[in-house]
Chains A and B, each alone.
Chain A
Amino acid sequence: MSSGGPLLDVRHLVQEFEVRAQGGVRSGVVQAVSDVSFSLDKGETLGLVGETGSGKSTLARSILQAPRPKSGEVLFEGVDLVTLRGREMLRARRQMQMVFQDPFGSLDPKWSVTRIVEEPLIAFRTGARDERRRRVTEVLELVGLDPGRYADRRPRSLSGGQAQRVAIARALALDPALIIYDEAVSSLDVLIRAQVLNLLERLRSELSLTYLFIAHDLALVKQVSDRVAVMYLGKLVEIGPAESLYREPLHPYTVALLASIPNPDPTAPRAPAGQTIHGEPPSPIDPPSGCRFRTRCPRAQDVCAAEEPPLRKLANGHFAACHFPVSRDPLQAAGREPARLAGGHHDPATTN
């Protein structure tokens, strides 16, 4: 165990899947995650956004080694998870938990709330029965569910918000360091979603948790994140402090995502036509050459097809992979040097 370094350090992560041709679907290798690097400090929340198929969920699962990535390193407290086997892997895994989008799909309908929340404790042989039950009561209280009322309930008698609280309690049971939320509030109603988001914030500060928060809703991600990473077709295209990424997005894709958010103010001007994008992402089986976003990018030039833009530092802690980043001062942005790669190995996006 190291101290001082980031809690999680992902380096050049690659995940690919082979698909066979079937019913009009092409065969080939899906390049789900392509050379993604970033780091996450203790107590920090990194938001991860992107469209369906951008590879954000695959990235999360590759971090958890389920399944193991094709290549790259995943350093958790300084130890590369990719090299861990058996007992050591188990020990690392209990530090990392995940909460999914559909609570009803991820809770066994036949089990009581107590059994669901106790399950990870049993799986990791933690404590005697009464100690485990005490822990269940403790975490149910943490997530705002009265144990006396909910402990014996089955998932079907819970509302969506309550079921998601149970899933969060289960994730907390083993006292993890890192929790990955994969669209965990996306299917909840607005008011319930606000309650759960506030709960996540309270838990984070009370238990000093580190979050990787995956969602497609950029406004929601802003609410909870210190830094935000944007993925497009398996690539990390922009990463930076939440405030500066939203105030001055650098990648045209981020600009387009921001322009697509419906504004809850009817008097607000609509996004200028040049900012929204058309079409849909191309197939990850055969991604475009050079910059993968170029086929939908309003700023694309010849160089974008020829050369893949590296992720480079364009502002303080703010990186983008674009030949023609959007900036208030385009001349200045064009003159900036690509950031140095520390040790020729470590991507700059990992420094905070």
Chain B
Amino acid sequence: MSESLLDVSDLRVDFRHDRQVVRAVDGLTYSVRRGQTVAVIGESGSGKTVSSRAVMGLLPPTATVTGSIRFEDTEMVGLAEKAMRRHRGRGVAMVFQDPTRSLNPTMRVGAQIREAIQTHENTSRGGAQDRALELLELVRLPAARERLEQYPHQLSGGMRQRVMIAIALAASPKLLIADEATTALDVTTQAQIMELLRDLQQRLGMALIMISHDLGLAASFADEVVVMYAGRAVERAPTRKLFAHVRMPYTRALLDAIPRLENASHSQLAAIPGQPPNLALREPGCPFTPRCPNATDQCREHAPAFAEHEPDHEWACWHPCADEVPA
């Protein structure tokens, strides 16, 4: 796999909290190739955000990271902060869910983009200003020149997210992580931002990890999907393969719970009971057992390994779903 850009293998992230250890990420393995879009899907607390922050080296000191994160030829786990800083921005950049909280409300948009540019490049104020304008045009912000002089509160949510993307692109990263980057936006704006990300990715040859709870979004935009549950990867495959041959009952449950336009009004959704497990109680077996329709004693006692059971299709389940017969 020479074309691999990012290789995460057996990643574990522990948080110490009230004398308990919460294992937020538990043996996660996946790769991202150059220019590829990988969707990491899961509910709150599945470890999708924590694992991507580990890739950025943005975890708090209470976190203990073990395993390996290789970006190009560099091992990121245990990397000193100074080297990590070089990697952030140029190697990997991140866009977060809430653009309002990620931008400084007291600084003009232009100054915030210039700051990002001058962190990575030794350039004059004028040079940085020109580059800032270029970036705002790249993210197709209307009236880009005037926006440079505005403050974040003068922009709409969608425009602020475009500014965040411009900042993330300042040092031409090879990998962009979009962490629920469109969740807080309206559907029409979400569609615009996703189209923008897809377009930028193709033009700049950048890889994209989209972290989301929305399998629908993954279906439309990702080349490959990794589904996480309780800190583990539970299923991974190229998007079309995954949606055509869902194996892990958790993935099935996520798909079935999405309200679809074809559904009749007042129809019941297929909702599985229960909630994700408490990650501080590290119980043996598959973490999905209490909510799984296929669970047996085997599942309660032994966790299934995450392995390639079919070509280019990995999952962790003792009793995978069969292909659905099309209705």
Which residues of A pack against B, CB within 8 Å?
23-25, 45, 51-52, 159-161, 189-195, 197-198, 201, 205, 216-220, 222-226, 242-243, 246, 256-268, 270, 276-280
Contact = CB atoms under 8 A, between A and B. Distances in A.
B191 interface: yes
Contact of A222 (B216, B221, B240, B263): B263
Given A216-B186, A263-B219, A223 B263 contact: yes
Contact of A189 (B213, B219, B239): B213
B268 A219 contact: no
Interface in B34-63: 43-44
A50 to B, nearest CB: 9
Contacts of B151: 23-24
Interface residues of B, number: 51
A150 to B, nearest CB: 13
A256 B188 contact: yes
B261 A190 contact: no
A191 B186 CA distance: 21
Given A266-B219, A270-B220, A191 B265 contact: no
A257 B188 contact: yes
A260 B271 contact: no
Interface string B254-281: 1101111101111111111101000000
Nearest to A25: B154
A219 B261 CA distance: 5
A263 B260 CA distance: 8
Contact of A218 (B158, B261, B272): B261
A158 to B, nearest CB: 11
**Closest 9 CB pairs between A and B?**
A194-B271, A194-B257, A264-B216, A262-B216, A223-B259, A260-B191, A194-B269, A189-B43, A51-B186
A266 B190 contact: no
Given A263-B216, A264-B216, A266-B240, A191 B258 contact: no
B265 A242 contact: yes
Given A52-B186, A262-B217, A223 B265 contact: yes
Nearest to B242: A266
B240 A267 contact: yes
Nearest to B241: A266
Given A51-B187, A190-B43, A263-B216, 6 more contacts: A160-B44, A189-B213, A197-B259, A224-B266, A226-B265, A267-B244
B187 A201 contact: no
B214 interface: yes
Contacts of B150: 24
Contacts, number: 139
A268 B243 CA distance: 11
Contacts of A159: 275
A201 B156 contact: no
Contacts of B205: none
B265 A260 contact: no
A261 B265 contact: no
Given A51-B188, A218-B187, A264-B258, A198 B220 contact: no
A117 B150 CA distance: 45
26 contacts: A45-B265, A45-B266, A51-B189, A189-B43, A189-B44, A190-B254, A190-B257, A191-B257, A192-B275, A194-B271, A197-B271, A201-B266, A201-B268, A217-B187, A222-B265, A223-B267, A223-B269, A226-B265, A243-B264, A261-B187, A262-B190, A262-B219, A266-B220, A267-B240, A267-B244, A268-B219
Contacts of B194: 262
Contacts of A259: 191
Interface in B71-122: none
A261 B259 contact: no
A194 B270 contact: yes
A219 to B, nearest CB: 5
Contacts of A263: 216, 219-220
Contacts of B142: 279
Contacts of B44: 160, 189
B254 A191 contact: yes
A224 B239 CA distance: 29
A213 to B, nearest CB: 11
Contacts of A222: 259, 261, 263, 265
B67 interface: no
A277 B188 CA distance: 7
Contacts of A267: 240, 243-244
B156 to A, nearest CB: 5
A132 B127 CA distance: 69
